[in-house]
Amino acid sequence: MMTLSFAALILILVNLYTDWLTPVRSSVANVANSFYWVTNIPARIAEWGTDAVKTREALQQENEALKSELLIHRRKLQQMATLAAENVRLRQLLNSADMIQDRVLVAELIGVSPDPMAHKVIINRGASEGVYLGQPLLDAFGLMGQVVEVSANSSQVLLITDSTHALPVQVNRNGVRAVAEGIGDLYTLKLRHVSNTVDIREGDLLVSSGLGQRFPVGYPVAVVERVKHDPGQPFAEVLARPKAQMNRSRHVLLVFGNETSAAKAERDKEAAN
């Protein structure tokens, strides 16, 4: 026993103060690793068995959970895309408001008339914010219509494309005046009684002329898309595409400063009551 103890002490001292036993330690470590790997086999078999015997129901539940998580992330991505697009539209609207000299009020479309023959929308502004009958409405690109019905917190707007609507316009290039009327098509306006000799061309910008004192002067209305001259007809057929995005704009502007005295008196009377 004393001999073994002395031999062990000698080996410890040699290991501490020399590198003679380094190759021996490496060989012993390799042998020990093999023993560790063998002794770990039961644990690995148990782990493999747990994964292998996982039920079909558990796999389906995990698959459904992953699908739900994917849908949630996709919804968030869609919302981000929607918010980015809405941010662009609001910036366009604000830029449009900066170019307008009159006082304006931002509104939001909250409904569309269920009547397919009537081009009307509902906005979330009403008499409590000073909205009045005949008030012009526009989006970031051009005139959309005018208020035809006012309640306390909402209003109904008749779009310029409605078949019962007409507004005075002028050609921005040369000042030629005409009347643009709706024909029941969101993408088309028709100019009424345009002589064959009138200087009007495709691509001309039509703006509000201010005649009738309903719409302010100089707001974009439409761009001429077709001019057809028929020698057998007294008038040319002139069709134009509205500048406003009738079926796409959600945020709009109400323009103040053009209220008629009769409308103002009626609004003041309702406010007093």
Q: Is the pLDDT of residue 17 over 50?
A: yes
- 249 belongs to a structural domain: yes
pTM above 0.75, yes or no: no
- 156 belongs to a structural domain: yes
- Is 152 found in the same domain as 30? no
Total structural domains within the chain: 2
User: What would the mean pLDDT of 31-35 be, rounded to a whole number?
Assistant: 58
pLDDT in tens, 72-122: 666 566 556 556 666 666 666 666 655 555 678 888 999 998 888 899 999
The phi, psi pair for 258, rounded to 5°, reads -130, 20
Residue 170, beta-bridge partner list = 177, 207
Q: What stretch of H or E contains 30?
A: helix 22-39
pLDDT at site 89: 63
**Portion of the chain with pLDDT greater than 70, in percent:** 62
- 71 belongs to a structural domain: no
- 135 belongs to a structural domain: yes
Model confidence at 265, pLDDT cuts 50, 70, 90, reads: very low
pLDDT in tens, 237-259: 999 999 998 988 888 889 886 55
Domain that holds residue 219: 104-272
Which of residues 251 and 178 earns the better pLDDT score?
A: 178
7-16, 25-34, 66-75, 127-136: range with highest mean pLDDT: 127-136
pLDDT at site 261: 42
CA triple 240-246-247, angle to 5 deg:
125
d(CA 76, CA 71) in angstroms, rounded, equals 9
- 58 belongs to a structural domain: no
pLDDT in tens, 197-218: 899 999 999 999 888 888 888 8
